[in-house]
Amino acid sequence: MKAWLKRALFALLGKDPEAVIVTVGSPGSLPRRMRDLVPARRHILVEPAPRESPGELWMRLRRTLAPCRVALCAVSLDDRRALAAALLACPGKVLAFNAAGERHHLRLRTLIASLLFMRGLPLDRIFLRPSWLCPWKQDRSLLPRSWRLVEGRPFRAGRPRVAVLSPYLPWPLAHGGAVRIYNLLREVSREFDLVLFAFEDGQTGADLARATEFCSVVAVAAKPRYREPRWSTLLPPEACEFYTPELRAELHRLLERFKVPLLQVEYTQLARYGGRILVEHDVTQDLFRQVYEREPSLRAWWDLFRWRRFENRALRRYPAIVAMSGKDAALIGHPAKTTVIPNGVDLERFHPSPRPAASNLLFIGSFRHFPNVRAYRFLVEEIWPLLGRRDACLTVVAGPHPELYWPDPAPCESIRLLGFVEDVKPLYDEAAVVVIPTVVSAGTNLKALEAMAMRRPIVSTESGVAGLGLIDGQSVLLARSAQEFAAAVDRLLDDPDLSEALAAQARAVAERDFGWPALAKKQEQLWRS
């Protein structure tokens, strides 16, 4: 009787009584995923035409679904045209998928969560609540409380001992900070016995063994799982993520046990652990100042306020500070206790190779560091459409798990987006031009140093090569807008002689100022002093 009444009711409405699953988009993984999720329903695929407007797609979708009762309408957030049509045609029934494969029902009753999901916020962070507001919440931060000790080479009699604290192990070389720490520690380990404190992030035993080759002890803490909203703490969230009082107390007990008198802290976010030397890989408050000046907002102001307050206190407290460049040293504002030790490059490994004939461009920047995400967006959305060389191809090395930081895929086939690449040297061999389109930046760009050592011409914004001593028109081409950037890239691709002259001068600068052995001597002098 119930089934008969259902059929009769929907017959009066002119609809099929059985609800259907609709997918709006191209054939591929999304329709297959919906069939796997709801195998018992009838599925309908509505594929947008190449030049169909959202309004036209909406009208066609309504005509297609007129005789149907819709249970769910699946759509990808990457296809904004399909998303707009689906929201108009099937309000309250849209199931949206992001690039990471997460799904969320877009409903009016969860309006804020739906808007945040549409803006690209990962699903696991949308419903976070601060612990001080919801002390009963179950999704709590899991922060390490102890260090796991791994023995390396034995301590040597008569050698001074130094401890280094880092937010990550220096191997694999997934980003510029790891490259710097690994090379400097490897060089200075000839004269010093090292104790390294670091946090795990998916490293294997083989990765850990690379650190024990030059360290006497490696103390490893588990990877933190920080579950507080970014806005909810007075301290910067980065400073809370890696800190627990128990971990700090045990660190100092281990320093006493191993008779290590000197602790060097890498990165300002770890300044709460205390020590004698603080390494400012970038002046973080300057980074957030640039963000606030480019895009003023309450969120940008709050980040700037917290970092300025936290960083200035740390700079006053530490007896010695290491800066990456003279510009950073001036921003720090403590000249009597600041030493400049720039980033460097392995001049033997990154040696020049013949320039390729193809018009290949290369951009390297881990998306974990948010200025690289902004640079990538500037490159693909504003610069790339203006390039006159249609045969150009772009390779982007975005570091581990780029989909967590930039959900959209590469916008066209001529752009190749890669994750972590263990050896980037072959990519430099293939590149005709290296591009560094940073719009906000601090510190010095280690990838620029690699390009200089490989004798590859560079097109960059001013911030991308700050502190490296490159001169516009002699060793680099600088651009201030998307139009200037695209024109400079076209110019280098069309003029091999200019490319070679710029690249040769840049290699000479790298040889003169940025070899790791010379920089390690500065580190040794600081430790001995």
Q: Please tell me whether residues 460 and 447 are part of one structural domain.
A: yes
- Write the CA distances from 31 to 57, 76, 260, 413, integer angstroms: 18, 10, 60, 22
Q: At residue 260, what is the residue type? A: V
328 and 252 together in one domain: yes
Whether 40 and 121 map to the same domain: the answer is yes
Q: Would residue 279 count as lying in a domain?
A: yes
**What is residue 409's predicted lDDT score, i.e. its pLDDT?**
64
pLDDT in tens, 499-519: 999 999 999 999 988 888 989
181 and 281 housed in the same domain: yes
Specify the pLDDT at position 15.
53
CA dihedral 387, 427, 452, 289 (to 10 degrees): 70
Which region, left, alpha or beta, applies to residue 202 given φ > 0 means left and ψ of -120 to 50 means alpha?
Answer: left
Q: How far apart are CA 132 and CA 233, in angstroms?
A: 10
181, two tokens: 């720490």
Same domain? 522 vs 397 = no
In tens, the pLDDT along 456-500 reads 999 999 888 887 888 888 999 999 999 999 999 999 998 989 999
* Beta-strand pair 433-436/360-364: parallel
User: Do 479 and 459 touch, CB atoms closer than 8 A?
Assistant: yes
Q: How many domains does the chain have?
A: 3
What average pLDDT does the segment 212-217 reach?
A: 93
d(CA 287, CA 304): 9
With a CB cutoff of 8 Å and minimum separation 6, the contacts of 341 are 184, 322, 323, 324, 519, 522, 523, 526
Q: Are residue 365 and residue 504 in the same domain, yes or no?
A: yes
* Position 496 in a domain: yes
Question: Does residue 133 form part of some domain?
Answer: no
- The count of other CB atoms within 10 Å of the CB of residue 308 is 16
User: The CATH number of the domain where 113 resides is what?
Assistant: 3.40.50
Q: What is the CATH number of the domain that holds 301?
A: 3.40.50.2000
Split at pLDDT 50, 70, 90, the class of 440 is confident
User: CB–CB of 94/70 below 8 Å?
Assistant: no
Q: Kindly state whether residues 307 and 443 are assigned to the same domain.
A: no
The CA-atom distances, in angstroms, between 272 and each of 165, 313, 348 are: 11, 10, 37
Q: Could you tell me which of 173, 175, 177 has the C-alpha nearest to residue 164? A: 177
What letter represents residue 363's amino acid? Answer: F
| Domain region containing 63 | 15-126
- Structure tokens, 399: 């570091």
| Six-digit token string for 248 | 């700090």
Residue written as token pair 């297959």: 32
- Whether 3 is in a domain gets the answer no
Rounded Cα gap, residues 227 and 279, in angstroms: 27
Read off the pLDDT of residues 275-325 as tens digits, 9 standing for 90 and up. 999 999 989 999 899 889 888 999 899 999 999 999 999 999 999 999 998
Half-sphere exposure of 198 (CA within 13 A, CB side): 26
Nearest residue to 149 (alpha-carbon basis) of 279, 263, 255: 255
Residue 297 counted as domain residue: yes
* pTM (predicted TM-score): 0.75
Q: State whether 269 and 284 are in the same domain.
A: yes
- Is residue 258 domain-shared with residue 385, that is, in the same domain? no
For residue 350, is it within any domain?
A: no
* 3-state SS class at 242: coil
Q: Indicate whether 153 and 65 sit together in one domain.
A: no
Spatial contact of 173 and 179, defined as CB atoms under 8 Å apart: yes
Torsion angle, alpha carbons of 324, 266, 207, 241, to 10: -130
Cα gap 352→349, rounded to integer Å: 9
Stretch 47-69: mean pLDDT, rounded? 86
Longest dimension (CA), the chain: 94
Beta carbons of 271 and 239 less than 8 angstroms apart = yes
Strands 217-221 and 148-151: antiparallel
Task: Decide if 169 contacts 200 (C-beta within 8 A).
Answer: yes
Same domain, 506 and 366: yes
| 155 within a domain of the structure (yes/no) | yes
Q: Which of 126, 159, 175 is the last residue of a domain?
A: 126
Residue 1, pLDDT above cutoff 70: no
Within a domain: 274: yes
Query: Are the CB atoms for 292 and 301 separated by under 8 Å?
Result: yes
Which segment, 259-263, 293-297, 377-381, is predicted with the most confidence on average? Answer: 259-263
pLDDT score of 212 more than 70: yes
pLDDT in tens, 72-105: 999 998 888 899 999 998 898 999 998 777 889 9
In this structure, is the dihedral angle defined by the CA atoms of residues 366, 368, 370 and 376, taken in order, positive or negative? positive
373 and 509 belong to one structural domain: yes
Model confidence at 416: pLDDT above 80: yes
| H or E stretch covering 436 | strand 433-436
More confident residue, 124 or 148: 148
Q: Is 101 left (phi over 0), alpha (psi -120 to 50) or beta?
A: left
For residue 13, pLDDT beyond 60: no
Average pLDDT taken over every residue of the chain: 87
